[in-house]
Amino acid sequence: MTHSVQVCIVNYNTREHLRTCLEGLSTESSSRPIIVVDNASPDGSAAMVQREFPDVKLIANSVNLGFGAAANQAIALCESAYMLLLNSDTRVQPGAVQALAAYLDRCPRAAIVGPKLLNSDGTLQRSSRRFPGTLAWLFDNQLGGRLARSLGLRAGKMLHAWAHDHARPVPWVIGAAMAMRVEPVRQVRGFDPGFFLYCEEIDLCMRLRKSGWEVHFTPDATIAHVGGASTPGDRRDLNRHMIASTLRLYRLHYGKLRAAMLRTLLRTRSAIAGWQAVRDTSAPLAKRASSSEYLLGRD
């Protein structure tokens, strides 16, 4: 018998996306109510949920706690053995919730399993990555991948070029949609609230793996993900969050020395980007953002 799955959604300022997400979930059977954690959205998201989805269990925070801390609130309230954690800008395809539950039933060592993600236009959204800062990560991205292929490594072996067409263990999956076995996640104390934005799912997957659990990917379940809906603000602010989270990840898992080395690298890249911006005023912020995203393998 397949275990039940409780769906939990973290939302910030994406009322219309949240409404569409909840409407799509209405056809997915579950014995537990959907949990929505709203991070003090100024767009009326919480009021919309109360008015239009009275069966949803709503947590309306008075301040924005960040993704990880909000997800922990849902994990604490979860009444099922499994939980599907979603961003509000996701669209769950029919049968995806039960497919993820069935996968967790078949794979008792998997603490987390990520579904196949699609972009809004139906193209594949690559959702599994190597851990940043590792030797495998160095060769498994667009830049390092060219060198790896020249050394004879097949593209299908590299996560950044993999077709996401079969189930397999992976280092980590992006937090836009992840099904989790609740008990082991609670045992490692859930997400680290010190990550306000970015890297919280990487840190969680690293801690689960160190505790003997596995992280998997399966194409049995498909979920569309718009991406970036709740972070449309100043790219400089987002870049600062990404840099701060990446440095925290390095400190926690690789030590202070490597974190200091990374900080020096980032400052050097920032100085180079600033110098280039003086010469070329075309989208300097996008260049700086992409340089830090590269450090997480989001190429």
Q: Are residues 197 and 270 in the same domain?
A: no
Pick the last residue of a domain from 186, 202, 225.
Answer: 225
Q: What is the pLDDT of residues 61-99, one digit of tens each?
A: 999 999 999 999 999 999 999 999 999 999 999 999 999
For 25-32, the CB contacts below 8 A with 24+ separation are 25/92, 25/97, 27/94, 28/92, 28/94, 28/96, 28/97, 28/98, 29/98, 30/4, 30/5, 30/6, 30/97, 31/4, 31/80, 32/4, 32/6, 32/78, 32/79, 32/80
| Number of domains, the chain | 2
Confidence of residue 264 (pLDDT cuts 50, 70, 90): confident
Tell me whether residue 157 is in a domain: no
Task: Give the mean model confidence (pLDDT) for residues 133-152.
Answer: 59
- Mean pLDDT of all residues in the chain? 86
CATH number for the domain harbouring residue 23: 3.90.550.10
Task: Give the mean model confidence (pLDDT) for residues 151-174.
Answer: 79
Q: Are residues 98 and 169 in the same domain?
A: yes
Neighbours of 90 (CB within 10 A): 26
User: Can you give the pLDDT at residue 279?
Assistant: 64
Q: Are residues 221 and 241 in the same domain?
A: no
Q: Between 170 and 145, name the one with better pLDDT.
A: 170
Lowest mean pLDDT among 79-88, 136-145, 234-243, 258-267: 136-145
What 3-state DSSP class applies to 170?
coil
Q: Are residues 180 and 123 in the same domain?
A: yes
This prediction's pTM: 0.86
Tell me whether residue 85 is in a domain: yes
Full domain range(s) for residue 281: 235-295
Query: In sequence order, what DSSP letters do the residues of 206-261 get, joined into one string?
Result: HHHHHTT-EEEEEEEEEEEE--STT--S-HHHHHHHHHHHHHHHHHHHH-HHHHHH
User: Can you give the pLDDT at residue 285?
Assistant: 45
Nearest to 13, CA basis, from 239, 236, 231: 231
User: Can you give the pLDDT at residue 258?
Assistant: 86
Pick the last residue of a domain from 196, 225, 254.
Answer: 225
Residue 286 in this model has a pLDDT that exceeds 50: no
| 196 close to 245: Cβ distance less than 8 angstroms | yes
| 123 close to 226: Cβ distance less than 8 angstroms | no
